[in-house]
Amino acid sequence: MSVEILHSGFDGLKFTLQAEISPALRHELIEAKAYAKASNGEGEVKVGGLVLSVRAGGGSCFVTHTGDHGAIWMFQDPEHRIPNNPGITVDFRAFGLATGGLRGAEAHFRRVMAALAIPYADHQLRVTRADFAVDLLAPWFEPDRMALVVPPGTKITEYAGGNETATQATGGRVTGLRAGAIANRQLAIYDKRAEVIQQRKMGWLTIWNAERARRDLPPLDLADREASQVWRFEMRLGSKQLRNRFEMQSWEDVHAVIGDAFNDALGRIRYCAPTSDRNRSRWPLHGLWQRFGEVIASDLHQNCCGVLPSDVAEANRTAKMRELDRQLLGLFITRAAVSDVTEGEMFEFMENHIAALQRHCDDHPKTLGERLAKAAGRYRWV
């Protein structure tokens, strides 16, 4: 049974905090949110050397983020508080956790709180979600719903087919399984390669190839599914486990207890190798599940993959540029076809059309600088 671990570490971490923003910060967030609504983009708040991108939605809350390697920060409006809701919610991004681990997440949290000058104590934190994932290169594997052994009453969802829609049918290639509820504990086994391709999250390919390079192995070619099929095994723990059962109320609690919480979950949900024995509890563990458990049982603090955030950001930026180039080419081809341009005239048409685009740009009510700034504000790579 050939299997290679390409990455392991936290893929999600979410906190709530009983604290409030200052009146000055509230005023800046109101202005930035209003700008986001008016411009159909994002506003910005710059404070203490930090840049917060502010979104238009969120109702009475302020929804902000600090980029792909930071977190989503949601602030309650102190003057329009929703009763019993926490003042601050912090949802750390997957790429930041993959490259910096728990220590990096904690450092980011404390840096942002200091920049925003929000007073708090560690015991005011409540951990509401934590995800731990292991990416395994195993082209021969396909998830089997019958191999899941879960507590009675646990909901299991199977995904099949190229569009990964939930189905109860058995036809089509199975691309994922999900068992349990996110508020409690949930296991997800899914085709991570397909997600990377569909959502163009090429930063994960950079992370996987960095691990292979450390082992003197060639990089993965995602075009060859049989040689690059990556399955993600991911255990997700929600507030019923982290906040209620294990009572995680500070960063110190997370570092001290999070391993116990995940090991406990592994004892309640498992993926087996089915046999003819009618007693499912006696089925042996599947080889991939054993590897998954071994990683979780190890020191969970050692999750930094060794890839710099800038490497992942550059991979994501390059993927976006290629996506936009393909869209531009498609638009040019359509425009040329409408104008009865022949194949031999295509490149001359593209070159001459630049003047027409420039005229449209000059006639636009907003300046080119304003439009560039708005477009640039939609993407935060670091």
Q: What is the mean pLDDT of residues 105-118?
A: 95
331 pLDDT band, cuts 50/70/90, is very high
Contacts for 382 with CB less than 8 Å, ≥ 6 apart: 67, 68, 69, 309, 310, 313
Q: How far apart are CA 209 and CA 202, in angstroms?
A: 11
Q: Report the chain's mean pLDDT, rounded to a whole number.
A: 88
> For 65-84, how does the pLDDT look when each residue is reduced to its tens digit (9 = 90+)?
999 899 999 999 999 888 88
Neighbours of 100 (CB within 10 A): 22
Q: Does the structure show a pLDDT above 80 at 88?
A: yes
Q: What phi-psi label fits residue 284: left (phi over 0), alpha (psi between -120 and 50 degrees) or beta?
A: beta
Asked if residues 105 and 13 have their Cβ atoms less than 8 Å apart, the reply is: yes
Task: State whether the Cα torsion 294-196-239-19 is positive or negative.
Answer: positive
Asked if residues 261 and 128 have their Cβ atoms less than 8 Å apart, the reply is: no
310 pLDDT band, cuts 50/70/90, is low
> For 228-265, how does the pLDDT look when each residue is reduced to its tens digit (9 = 90+)?
999 999 999 999 998 888 888 889 888 888 888 898 89
Q: How far apart are CA 239 and CA 15, in angstroms?
A: 10
Instruction: Output the pLDDT for position 236.
Output: 96
**Which residue is associated with the tokens 């500070």?**
250
Helix 94-116 to helix 309-338 angle (10° resolution) is 110
Instruction: Output the pLDDT for position 304.
Output: 43
- Mark out the alpha helices in the chain (DSSP H runs): 23-39, 94-116, 192-199, 203-214, 225-228, 239, 251-266, 287-297, 309-338, 346-363, 368-377
Which pair of structure tokens corresponds to residue 124?
Answer: 């005011």
Q: Does the structure show a pLDDT above 70 at 168?
A: no
307 pLDDT band, cuts 50/70/90, is low
Q: Which of 1-10, 19-28, 89-98, 200-209 has the lowest mean pLDDT?
A: 1-10
Number of H helices, E strands in the chain: 11, 14
The structure's pTM equals 0.83
Q: What is the mean pLDDT of residues 26-42?
A: 94
Q: Nearest CA to 262 among 223, 299, 296?
A: 296
Asked if residues 74 and 89 have their Cβ atoms less than 8 Å apart, the reply is: yes
Q: Does the structure show a pLDDT above 90 at 318?
A: no
Q: How far apart are CA 89 and CA 21, in angstroms?
A: 12
Asked if residues 280 and 272 have their Cβ atoms less than 8 Å apart, the reply is: yes
Asked if residues 72 and 60 have their Cβ atoms less than 8 Å apart, the reply is: no
Q: Does the structure show a pLDDT above 60 at 339?
A: yes
Which helix (H) or strand (E) segment holds residue 191: the answer is strand 185-191
**Which residue is associated with the tokens 């309650």?**
76
